[in-house]
């Protein structure tokens, strides 16, 4: 069975987000927002193959811990994690 995962990875709040600050500065400079406080992140979407939900959950956590996130400076949120049907994938 396949499972669809969507994860967002962001810098921890205490870590300076230079890119977010740059976007905030542009918004202020072009008079769209005076105090935007933008923070950037990365979204990862992928499929996991597993025999059952528990195995998929273990795989997802291992992918996050070993590949996607540096826990010293980053945090993550699982935005979506669900069984993935072939019909849905054909859209």
pLDDT, tens only, 9-18? 999 999 999 9
Mean pLDDT confidence for 15-35: 95
Helices (H), 1-91: 18-29, 53-63, 86-89
- Distance in angstroms (rounded) separating the CA atoms of residues 51 and 63: 17
pTM of the predicted structure, to 2 decimals? 0.81
Nearest partner of 33 among 20, 16, 51, judged by Cα: 20
- Distance in angstroms (rounded) separating the CA atoms of residues 75 and 16: 13
**Average pLDDT value over all residues in the chain:** 93
Nearest partner of 74 among 20, 26, 8, judged by Cα: 8
72-83 residue pLDDT tens: 999 999 999 999
43-85 residue pLDDT tens: 999 999 999 999 999 999 999 999 999 999 999 999 999 998 7
């Amino acid at each position: 069975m396949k499972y669809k995962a969507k994860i967002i990875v962001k810098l921890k709040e205490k870590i300076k987000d230079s890119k977010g600050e740059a976007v905030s500065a542009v918004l202020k400079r072009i008079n769209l927002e005076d105090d935007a406080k933008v923070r950037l992140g990365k979204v990862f979407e992928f499929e996991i193959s597993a025999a059952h939900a528990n195995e998929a959950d273990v795989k997802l956590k291992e992918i996050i811990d070993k590949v996607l996130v540096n826990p010293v400076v980053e945090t993550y949120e699982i935005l979506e994690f669900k069984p993935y049907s072939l019909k849905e994938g054909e859209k």
